[in-house]
């Protein structure tokens, strides 16, 4: 077993609830205190299990035999998924009253930017539950069974998805253009042209994502938020954000949010998950 440190406060119940709502059958299993998923990297694959020890402020990590040779990189990806290297006091001081009610919120990241980008595309214009269901169909049809535990599968490789035609994905229940968008993304990943890490200029990076077929502004920003774990992303056009700012236009909301730089991603989370919050200009 491995252990990863984190600085409290950390709202594990919220984080695991967030992941549970989006859990994909076949690759993820989540309870209030435990997260388990399959993962494949650099020719190695296996299961990882995460269980927080809140008393010791440590995350207990169990890796199956197949992931042991790449343990260092898997642990780095886990830190990215759960935002374990966050310095919460710095963010709380910057956000002030906005973060007072939920000081333990962290920015959910991902284990793999390509996977998260595909999941973001599948989530366009559908509910969170439907997005997870669609992703599950993708995994069952195009993901390989986990060698050491065939009851699990691994997320489809870029190479596998790049080889498909849109009709094959349409049969899973998505629009033809969405299937084409996923295939195009996979082809970019195979060619090494998909940005996997947060660029120095996030806004320019988002603009580049928007040039990809089937990726709109909201989806591009969501990829930056979770796929790159960019700390300073805000979505003034988001439906719920507009509800939280009832007397402002998106342009006015954008200007208002400047006060939360360089932690606007965290401000976004607090606004999304603070029920009844209304912000007046």
**pLDDT tens, 22-36?**
999 999 999 999 999
Answer whether residue 242 shows pLDDT above 80. yes
Same domain, 145 and 221: yes
Domain annotation covers residue 105: no
Q: Give the CATH number of the domain where residue 274 resides.
A: 1.10.1670.10
Find the CATH number of the domain harbouring 144. Answer: 1.10.340.30
Same domain, 35 and 125: no
Q: Is the dihedral of CA 10, 220, 143, 158 positive or negative?
A: negative
Q: Which residues, 6 or more positions from 98, have their beta carbon under 8 angstroms from its beta carbon? A: 260, 267, 270, 271, 274
Residues 220 and 240 in one domain: no
Q: Is the predicted pLDDT of residue 151 greater than 80, yes or no?
A: yes
Q: Which residue has the tokens 């035999």?
A: 65
CB 230 within 8 A of CB 265: yes
Same domain, residue pair 135 and 79? no
- pLDDT higher than threshold 80 for residue 263: yes
Task: Give per-residue pLDDT as tens, 56-69.
Answer: 999 999 999 999 99
The answer to whether position 107 is within a domain reads: no
Question: Is 25 one of the catalytic residues?
Answer: no
| 117 and 163 together in one domain | yes
| Residue 281 resides in a domain | yes
Count of domains observed in the chain = 3
Q: Mean pLDDT score of the chain, rounded to an integer?
A: 96
Q: Which domain holds residue 69?
A: 2-99
Residues 72, 136, 199: CA angle, nearest 5 degrees: 45
Co-location of 89 and 163 in the same domain: no
Residues 200 and 249 in one domain: no
Which tens digit of pLDDT belongs to each residue from 138-148? 999 999 999 99
Write down which residue in 52, 73, 99 finishes a domain: 99
Q: Is residue 104 part of a domain?
A: no
**244 in any annotated domain:** yes
Please tell me which residue in 83, 112, 232, 238 is annotated as part of the active site: 238
Pair 30, 89 in one domain: yes
Residue 276 has pLDDT above 90, yes or no: no
Same domain, 55 and 151: no
């Amino acid at each position: 077993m491995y252990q990863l440190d984190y600085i409290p406060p950390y709202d594990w119940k919220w984080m695991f609830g967030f992941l549970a709502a989006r859990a994909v059958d076949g690759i993820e299993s989540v309870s209030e205190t435990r997260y388990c998923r399959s993962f494949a990297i650099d020719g190695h694959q296996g299961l990882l299990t995460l269980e927080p020890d809140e008393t010791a402020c440590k995350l207990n990590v169990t890796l199956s035999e197949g992931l042991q040779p790449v343990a260092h990189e898997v642990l780095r990806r886990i830190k990215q998924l759960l935002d374990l290297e966050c310095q919460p006091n710095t963010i709380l001081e910057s956000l002030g009253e906005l973060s007072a009610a939920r000081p333990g919120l962290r920015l959910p990241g991902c284990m793999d930017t390509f996977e998260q980008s595909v999941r973001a595309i599948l989530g366009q214009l559908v509910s969170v539950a439907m997005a997870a269901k669609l992703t599950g169909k993708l995994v069952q049809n195009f993901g390989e069974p986990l060698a050491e535990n065939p009851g699990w599968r691994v997320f489809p490789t870029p190479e596998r998805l790049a080889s498909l035609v849109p009709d094959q994905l349409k049969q899973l229940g998505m629009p033809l253009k969405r299937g084409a968008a996923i295939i195009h993304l996979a082809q970019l990943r195979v060619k090494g042209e998909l940005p996997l890490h947060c660029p120095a200029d996030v806004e320019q990076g988002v603009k580049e994502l928007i040039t990809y077929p089937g990726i709109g502004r909201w989806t591009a920003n969501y990829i930056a938020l979770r796929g790159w774990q960019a700390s300073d992303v805000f979505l003034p056009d988001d439906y719920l954000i507009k509800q939280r700012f009832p007397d402002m236009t998106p342009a006015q909301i954008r200007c208002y949010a400047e006060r939360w730089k360089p932690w606007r991603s965290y401000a976004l989370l607090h606004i999304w998950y603070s029920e009844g919050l209304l912000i007046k200009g």
